[in-house]
Protein backbone atom coordinates (compact mmCIF):
# COMPACT_ATOMS: atom_id res chain seq x y z
CA UNK A 1 0.00 0.00 0.00
CA UNK A 2 3.04 2.26 0.10
CA UNK A 3 3.72 4.89 -2.48
CA UNK A 4 6.21 3.68 -5.05
CA UNK A 5 8.45 6.52 -6.12
CA UNK A 6 10.00 6.22 -9.54
CA UNK A 7 13.75 6.81 -9.51
CA UNK A 8 14.36 10.43 -10.41
CA UNK A 9 16.59 10.46 -13.47
CA UNK A 10 17.57 14.07 -12.87
CA UNK A 11 18.90 13.41 -9.41
CA UNK A 12 22.67 13.46 -9.48
CA UNK A 13 24.42 10.38 -8.21
CA UNK A 14 26.49 11.12 -5.08
CA UNK A 15 30.22 11.33 -5.76
CA UNK A 16 33.43 11.11 -3.79
CA UNK A 17 33.35 14.95 -3.68
CA UNK A 18 30.06 14.86 -1.79
CA UNK A 19 31.41 12.35 0.69
CA UNK A 20 34.57 14.41 1.25
CA UNK A 21 32.59 17.62 1.78
CA UNK A 22 30.18 15.93 4.17
CA UNK A 23 32.99 14.32 6.17
CA UNK A 24 35.18 17.42 6.14
CA UNK A 25 38.16 15.55 4.70
CA UNK A 26 40.02 15.58 1.40
CA UNK A 27 38.99 13.49 -1.62
CA UNK A 28 42.27 11.62 -1.27
CA UNK A 29 41.36 10.49 2.20
CA UNK A 30 37.98 9.23 0.97
CA UNK A 31 39.71 7.37 -1.86
CA UNK A 32 42.08 5.75 0.58
CA UNK A 33 39.15 4.42 2.62
CA UNK A 34 37.36 3.20 -0.51
CA UNK A 35 40.49 1.50 -1.73
CA UNK A 36 41.15 -0.24 1.55
CA UNK A 37 44.12 1.92 2.55
CA UNK A 38 45.04 3.28 5.93
CA UNK A 39 43.43 6.35 7.52
CA UNK A 40 42.92 7.27 11.16
CA UNK A 41 40.02 5.59 12.91
CA UNK A 42 38.41 9.01 13.41
CA UNK A 43 38.58 9.89 9.71
CA UNK A 44 37.29 6.45 8.79
CA UNK A 45 34.27 6.83 11.08
CA UNK A 46 33.48 10.30 9.68
CA UNK A 47 33.77 9.04 6.10
CA UNK A 48 31.63 5.99 6.73
CA UNK A 49 28.95 8.22 8.28
CA UNK A 50 29.18 10.60 5.31
CA UNK A 51 28.86 7.72 2.83
CA UNK A 52 25.56 6.75 4.49
CA UNK A 53 24.33 10.36 4.65
CA UNK A 54 24.90 11.23 1.01
CA UNK A 55 24.00 7.78 -0.25
CA UNK A 56 27.27 7.21 -2.04
CA UNK A 57 27.70 3.86 -3.78
CA UNK A 58 31.30 2.95 -4.66
CA UNK A 59 31.21 2.16 -8.29
CA UNK A 60 34.54 0.73 -9.30
CA UNK A 61 33.17 -2.04 -11.46
CA UNK A 62 30.82 0.32 -13.30
CA UNK A 63 33.67 2.75 -13.84
CA UNK A 64 35.80 -0.05 -15.20
CA UNK A 65 32.99 -1.01 -17.51
CA UNK A 66 32.67 2.52 -18.87
CA UNK A 67 36.41 2.99 -19.17
CA UNK A 68 36.81 -0.48 -20.65
CA UNK A 69 39.62 -0.78 -18.15
CA UNK A 70 39.80 -3.29 -15.37
CA UNK A 71 43.48 -2.48 -14.80
CA UNK A 72 43.99 -6.24 -14.75
CA UNK A 73 45.90 -8.54 -17.09
CA UNK A 74 45.16 -12.25 -17.20
CA UNK A 75 47.99 -14.78 -17.06
CA UNK A 76 46.49 -17.92 -18.50
CA UNK A 77 48.21 -21.20 -17.80
CA UNK A 78 46.77 -23.78 -20.10
CA UNK A 79 48.24 -26.95 -18.67
CA UNK A 80 47.07 -30.20 -17.19
CA UNK A 81 47.54 -30.42 -13.42
CA UNK A 82 50.57 -32.64 -13.50
CA UNK A 83 52.56 -30.43 -15.80
CA UNK A 84 51.81 -27.28 -13.87
CA UNK A 85 53.39 -28.86 -10.80
CA UNK A 86 56.27 -30.40 -12.72
CA UNK A 87 57.35 -27.28 -14.49
CA UNK A 88 59.11 -24.77 -12.25
CA UNK A 89 59.45 -22.44 -15.24
CA UNK A 90 55.79 -21.51 -15.07
CA UNK A 91 56.29 -19.89 -11.67
CA UNK A 92 59.33 -18.00 -12.91
CA UNK A 93 57.52 -16.80 -16.05
CA UNK A 94 54.60 -15.68 -13.88
CA UNK A 95 56.81 -13.73 -11.50
CA UNK A 96 58.70 -12.11 -14.38
CA UNK A 97 55.38 -10.98 -15.87
CA UNK A 98 54.16 -9.76 -12.48
CA UNK A 99 57.20 -7.52 -12.06
CA UNK A 100 56.51 -5.69 -15.32
CA UNK A 101 52.74 -5.50 -14.80
CA UNK A 102 53.24 -4.27 -11.24
CA UNK A 103 55.49 -1.47 -12.52
CA UNK A 104 52.66 -0.49 -14.86
CA UNK A 105 50.21 -0.61 -11.92
CA UNK A 106 48.35 -3.48 -13.52
CA UNK A 107 46.98 -6.37 -11.49
CA UNK A 108 48.07 -9.74 -12.79
CA UNK A 109 45.32 -12.33 -12.39
CA UNK A 110 46.45 -15.86 -12.98
CA UNK A 111 43.81 -18.15 -14.47
CA UNK A 112 44.48 -21.87 -14.40
CA UNK A 113 42.72 -23.92 -17.04
CA UNK A 114 43.14 -27.63 -16.76
CA UNK A 115 39.80 -28.93 -17.97
CA UNK A 116 37.28 -28.25 -20.71
CA UNK A 117 35.04 -26.67 -18.08
CA UNK A 118 37.85 -24.33 -16.97
CA UNK A 119 38.47 -23.37 -20.58
CA UNK A 120 34.82 -22.47 -21.10
CA UNK A 121 34.70 -20.44 -17.89
CA UNK A 122 37.94 -18.59 -18.64
CA UNK A 123 36.64 -17.77 -22.11
CA UNK A 124 33.51 -16.32 -20.48
CA UNK A 125 35.67 -14.39 -18.01
CA UNK A 126 37.65 -12.82 -20.87
CA UNK A 127 34.43 -11.90 -22.66
CA UNK A 128 33.12 -10.27 -19.49
CA UNK A 129 35.74 -7.56 -19.59
CA UNK A 130 37.42 -8.59 -16.35
CA UNK A 131 40.85 -8.19 -17.87
CA UNK A 132 42.28 -5.62 -20.29
CA UNK A 133 44.87 -7.96 -21.74
CA UNK A 134 46.21 -11.49 -21.50
CA UNK A 135 49.41 -13.47 -21.46
CA UNK A 136 48.86 -17.04 -22.62
CA UNK A 137 51.26 -19.81 -21.67
CA UNK A 138 51.24 -23.09 -23.60
CA UNK A 139 48.48 -22.39 -26.08
CA UNK A 140 47.63 -25.46 -28.08
CA UNK A 141 46.35 -25.78 -31.63
CA UNK A 142 42.61 -25.04 -31.98
CA UNK A 143 42.43 -23.55 -28.51
CA UNK A 144 39.06 -21.91 -27.76
CA UNK A 145 40.77 -19.39 -25.47
CA UNK A 146 43.08 -18.28 -28.27
CA UNK A 147 40.11 -18.07 -30.61
CA UNK A 148 38.23 -15.90 -28.10
CA UNK A 149 41.23 -13.61 -27.60
CA UNK A 150 41.57 -13.07 -31.33
CA UNK A 151 37.83 -12.56 -31.81
CA UNK A 152 37.49 -10.13 -28.89
CA UNK A 153 40.61 -8.23 -29.94
CA UNK A 154 42.07 -8.40 -26.42
CA UNK A 155 45.69 -7.19 -26.31
CA UNK A 156 47.66 -10.38 -25.89
CA UNK A 157 51.04 -12.05 -26.02
CA UNK A 158 51.90 -15.72 -26.05
CA UNK A 159 54.66 -17.50 -24.21
CA UNK A 160 55.83 -20.03 -26.73
CA UNK A 161 54.76 -20.22 -30.33
CA UNK A 162 51.06 -20.99 -30.81
CA UNK A 163 50.79 -23.73 -33.41
CA UNK A 164 47.96 -22.09 -35.25
CA UNK A 165 48.77 -18.93 -37.14
CA UNK A 166 47.32 -16.08 -35.10
CA UNK A 167 48.08 -12.40 -35.60
CA UNK A 168 49.57 -11.98 -32.13
CA UNK A 169 53.07 -11.51 -30.73
CA UNK A 170 54.83 -14.31 -28.91
CA UNK A 171 58.00 -14.75 -26.86
CA UNK A 172 60.06 -17.88 -26.69
CA UNK A 173 63.39 -19.50 -27.28
CA UNK A 174 64.87 -21.32 -30.25
CA UNK A 175 64.21 -24.87 -29.08
CA UNK A 176 65.58 -26.42 -32.26
CA UNK A 177 69.00 -24.76 -32.08
CA UNK A 178 69.35 -25.22 -28.32
CA UNK A 179 68.50 -28.93 -28.58
CA UNK A 180 70.87 -29.39 -31.51
CA UNK A 181 73.73 -27.68 -29.68
CA UNK A 182 73.40 -29.53 -26.38
CA UNK A 183 73.10 -32.87 -28.22
CA UNK A 184 76.32 -32.08 -30.09
CA UNK A 185 78.06 -31.20 -26.85
CA UNK A 186 76.84 -34.46 -25.27
CA UNK A 187 78.07 -36.47 -28.29
CA UNK A 188 81.45 -34.76 -28.08
CA UNK A 189 82.04 -36.24 -24.60
CA UNK A 190 82.80 -39.46 -26.48
CA UNK A 191 79.29 -40.95 -26.59
CA UNK A 192 78.57 -43.38 -29.40
CA UNK A 193 74.96 -44.38 -28.70
CA UNK A 194 72.98 -41.27 -27.83
CA UNK A 195 69.25 -41.60 -27.13
CA UNK A 196 66.49 -39.18 -26.30
CA UNK A 197 63.47 -39.14 -24.05
CA UNK A 198 61.28 -36.88 -26.19
CA UNK A 199 58.18 -35.25 -24.73
CA UNK A 200 55.17 -33.16 -25.67
CA UNK A 201 55.48 -33.66 -29.42
CA UNK A 202 52.08 -31.97 -29.86
CA UNK A 203 53.71 -28.61 -29.11
CA UNK A 204 56.35 -26.64 -30.86
CA UNK A 205 58.77 -26.93 -27.92
CA UNK A 206 58.66 -30.72 -27.84
CA UNK A 207 58.66 -31.17 -31.61
CA UNK A 208 61.51 -28.68 -32.10
CA UNK A 209 63.69 -30.32 -29.43
CA UNK A 210 63.35 -33.68 -31.15
CA UNK A 211 64.12 -32.10 -34.54
CA UNK A 212 67.25 -30.44 -33.09
CA UNK A 213 68.36 -33.77 -31.62
CA UNK A 214 68.01 -35.47 -35.01
CA UNK A 215 69.88 -32.67 -36.76
CA UNK A 216 72.80 -32.93 -34.33
CA UNK A 217 73.22 -36.68 -34.81
CA UNK A 218 72.79 -36.65 -38.59
CA UNK A 219 73.64 -40.07 -40.02
CA UNK A 220 74.18 -41.60 -36.62
CA UNK A 221 70.56 -40.89 -35.59
CA UNK A 222 68.81 -44.14 -34.64
CA UNK A 223 65.01 -43.94 -34.19
CA UNK A 224 65.16 -46.96 -31.87
CA UNK A 225 66.96 -44.77 -29.33
CA UNK A 226 64.07 -42.30 -29.06
CA UNK A 227 61.26 -42.93 -26.55
CA UNK A 228 58.31 -40.56 -26.63
CA UNK A 229 56.25 -39.49 -23.62
CA UNK A 230 53.18 -37.22 -23.61
CA UNK A 231 54.28 -34.61 -21.03
CA UNK A 232 57.45 -33.13 -19.54
CA UNK A 233 57.18 -35.28 -16.44
CA UNK A 234 59.38 -37.17 -13.98
CA UNK A 235 57.59 -40.50 -13.73
CA UNK A 236 57.14 -40.79 -17.48
CA UNK A 237 60.87 -40.00 -17.88
CA UNK A 238 61.75 -42.77 -15.46
CA UNK A 239 59.62 -45.37 -17.26
CA UNK A 240 60.76 -44.26 -20.70
CA UNK A 241 64.38 -44.75 -19.64
CA UNK A 242 63.64 -48.25 -18.39
CA UNK A 243 62.18 -49.00 -21.82
CA UNK A 244 65.14 -47.42 -23.58
CA UNK A 245 67.61 -49.50 -21.52
CA UNK A 246 65.72 -52.69 -22.44
CA UNK A 247 65.78 -51.79 -26.12
CA UNK A 248 69.38 -50.59 -26.13
CA UNK A 249 71.44 -51.62 -23.07
CA UNK A 250 74.49 -50.05 -24.73
CA UNK A 251 73.07 -46.50 -24.71
CA UNK A 252 75.76 -44.17 -23.31
CA UNK A 253 74.15 -40.73 -23.65
CA UNK A 254 70.59 -39.46 -23.07
CA UNK A 255 69.07 -36.11 -23.95
CA UNK A 256 66.01 -35.58 -21.74
CA UNK A 257 63.46 -33.13 -23.13
CA UNK A 258 63.25 -31.30 -19.78
CA UNK A 259 64.92 -31.24 -16.36
CA UNK A 260 61.96 -33.01 -14.74
CA UNK A 261 62.27 -35.74 -17.36
CA UNK A 262 66.05 -35.82 -16.76
CA UNK A 263 65.45 -36.37 -13.04
CA UNK A 264 63.44 -39.47 -13.98
CA UNK A 265 66.25 -40.58 -16.33
CA UNK A 266 68.78 -40.26 -13.46
CA UNK A 267 66.62 -42.34 -11.12
CA UNK A 268 66.13 -45.07 -13.74
CA UNK A 269 69.88 -45.20 -14.50
CA UNK A 270 70.72 -45.39 -10.78
CA UNK A 271 68.22 -48.23 -10.31
CA UNK A 272 69.76 -50.09 -13.26
CA UNK A 273 73.16 -49.89 -11.57
CA UNK A 274 74.62 -47.44 -14.11
CA UNK A 275 76.63 -44.41 -12.94
CA UNK A 276 76.26 -40.90 -14.33
CA UNK A 277 78.24 -39.53 -16.14
CA UNK A 278 80.73 -42.46 -16.29
CA UNK A 279 78.42 -45.06 -17.84
CA UNK A 280 75.83 -42.73 -19.31
CA UNK A 281 75.95 -38.96 -19.86
CA UNK A 282 72.67 -37.13 -19.30
CA UNK A 283 71.59 -33.65 -20.36
CA UNK A 284 68.32 -31.87 -19.67
CA UNK A 285 66.49 -28.75 -20.74
CA UNK A 286 65.23 -25.80 -18.63
CA UNK A 287 67.91 -25.07 -16.01
CA UNK A 288 65.13 -24.98 -13.44
CA UNK A 289 66.03 -24.42 -9.80
CA UNK A 290 66.14 -28.18 -9.32
CA UNK A 291 68.70 -28.80 -12.07
CA UNK A 292 71.56 -28.17 -9.68
CA UNK A 293 69.92 -30.25 -6.95
CA UNK A 294 69.83 -33.40 -9.00
CA UNK A 295 72.59 -35.85 -8.31
CA UNK A 296 74.76 -35.33 -10.20
CA UNK A 297 73.78 -31.71 -10.99
CA UNK A 298 72.39 -31.50 -14.51
CA UNK A 299 74.06 -30.18 -17.63
CA UNK A 300 71.16 -28.45 -19.34
CA UNK A 301 69.84 -25.59 -21.49
CA UNK A 302 69.07 -22.42 -19.57
CA UNK A 303 65.58 -21.13 -20.25
CA UNK A 304 65.32 -17.41 -19.47
CA UNK A 305 61.93 -17.98 -17.85
CA UNK A 306 61.65 -14.72 -15.91
CA UNK A 307 62.85 -12.82 -18.99
CA UNK A 308 60.23 -14.51 -21.14
CA UNK A 309 57.52 -13.47 -18.68
CA UNK A 310 58.83 -9.90 -18.56
CA UNK A 311 58.99 -9.59 -22.34
CA UNK A 312 55.47 -10.99 -22.80
CA UNK A 313 54.14 -8.54 -20.21
CA UNK A 314 55.94 -5.65 -21.92
CA UNK A 315 54.25 -6.58 -25.19
CA UNK A 316 50.83 -6.45 -23.53
CA UNK A 317 51.58 -3.19 -21.71
CA UNK A 318 52.70 -1.62 -25.01
CA UNK A 319 49.46 -2.65 -26.71
CA UNK A 320 47.42 -1.25 -23.80
CA UNK A 321 49.29 2.03 -24.30
CA UNK A 322 48.12 2.04 -27.89
CA UNK A 323 51.49 1.17 -29.38
CA UNK A 324 51.87 -1.11 -32.36
CA UNK A 325 53.84 -4.25 -31.67
CA UNK A 326 55.13 -6.69 -34.29
CA UNK A 327 52.75 -9.63 -34.63
CA UNK A 328 55.49 -12.21 -34.64
CA UNK A 329 58.02 -13.93 -32.43
CA UNK A 330 60.70 -12.62 -30.08
CA UNK A 331 63.39 -15.20 -29.35
CA UNK A 332 65.49 -14.88 -26.19
CA UNK A 333 68.90 -16.47 -25.66
CA UNK A 334 69.05 -19.91 -24.06
CA UNK A 335 72.68 -20.73 -23.26
CA UNK A 336 73.96 -24.17 -22.31
CA UNK A 337 74.92 -24.65 -18.64
CA UNK A 338 77.38 -27.51 -18.27
CA UNK A 339 77.46 -29.25 -14.89
CA UNK A 340 78.30 -32.81 -13.83
CA UNK A 341 75.72 -35.11 -15.42
CA UNK A 342 77.57 -35.29 -18.76
- Given the rule CB under 8 A, which residues bind its own copies? 9, 34-38, 58-62, 64-65, 70, 72, 75, 81, 84-86, 88, 91-92, 94-95, 98, 102, 105, 107-112, 114-115, 117-118, 120-130, 144, 147-148, 151-152, 234, 263, 267, 270, 289-290, 293-295
Using CA atoms, how far apart are residues 243 and 111, in angstroms rounded to an integer? 37
Asked whether 215 and 208 are in contact (CB, 8 A), the reply is no
| Closest distance to its own copies from the beta carbon of 205 (Å) | 20
Q: Which is nearer to its own copies, 15 or 185 (CB)?
A: 15
Q: How many CB atoms lie within 10 A of CB 196?
A: 28
Residue 173 Cβ vs its own copies, minimum distance, rounded to whole Å: 19
Q: Are strands 72-78 and 133-137 parallel, antiparallel or unpaired?
A: parallel
The vertex-180 CA angle with 175 and 186, nearest 5°, equals: 125
Considering the complex, state which of residue 33 and residue 227 has its C-beta at the smaller distance from its own copies: 33
Measured from the CB of residue 54, what is the shortest distance to its own copies in angstroms?
19
User: Which alpha helices (H) appear in 233-279, and where do they start and end?
Assistant: 234-247, 259-271
Q: Which is nearer to its own copies, 64 or 242 (CB)?
A: 64
- Packed helices 16-23 and 27-34: angle between N→C axes, nearest 10 degrees: 110
Q: In angstroms, rounded to a whole number, what is the distance separating the alpha carbons of residues 342 and 334?
A: 18
- Give how far the C-alpha of residue 52 lies from the chain's centroid of Cα atoms, to the nearest Å: 44
Nearer to its own copies, 177 or 235 (CB): 235
> In the complex with its own copies, which residue's Cβ is closer, 166 or 194?
166
- CB nearer to its own copies: pick between 81 and 327: 81
Smallest separation, CB 227 to its own copies (Å): 19
Nearer to its own copies, 126 or 198 (CB): 126
CA angle, 95 as apex, 92 and 96 as ends, to 5°?
85
**Nearer to its own copies by C-beta: 79 or 204?**
79
Closest C-alpha among 16, 46, 15 to residue 28: 16
Q: How far is the CB of 190 from its own copies (least distance, A)?
A: 25
Angle at 306 between CA 86 and CA 214, to 5 degrees: 60
Q: Least separation, in Å, of the C-beta of 266 and its own copies?
A: 8
Closest approach of its own copies to the CB of residue 278, in Å: 16
Distance CA 122, CA 131 (A): 11
Closest distance to its own copies from the beta carbon of 133 (Å): 14
259 alpha carbon, distance to own chain's centre = 17
For 99-124, the DSSP string reads HHHHHTT-EEEEEEE-SHHHHHHHHH
Between CA 18 and CA 114 the distance in angstroms is 47
The angle subtended at Cα 279 by Cα 266 and Cα 225, nearest 5°, is 70
Closest approach of its own copies to the CB of residue 258, in Å: 13
Distance CA 80, CA 313 (A): 23
Nearer to its own copies, 88 or 172 (CB): 88
Amino acid sequence: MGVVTEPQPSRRRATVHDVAREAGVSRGTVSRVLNGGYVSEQARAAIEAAIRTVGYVPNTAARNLVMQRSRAVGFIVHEPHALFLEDPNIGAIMLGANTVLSDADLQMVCLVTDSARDTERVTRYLSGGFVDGVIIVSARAADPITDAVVRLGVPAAFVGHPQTTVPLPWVGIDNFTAARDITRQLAKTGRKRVGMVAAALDRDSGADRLAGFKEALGDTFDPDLVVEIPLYEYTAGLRATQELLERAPDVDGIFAASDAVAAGVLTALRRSGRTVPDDVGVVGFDDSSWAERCFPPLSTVHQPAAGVGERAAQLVVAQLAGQDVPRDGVLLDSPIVWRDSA
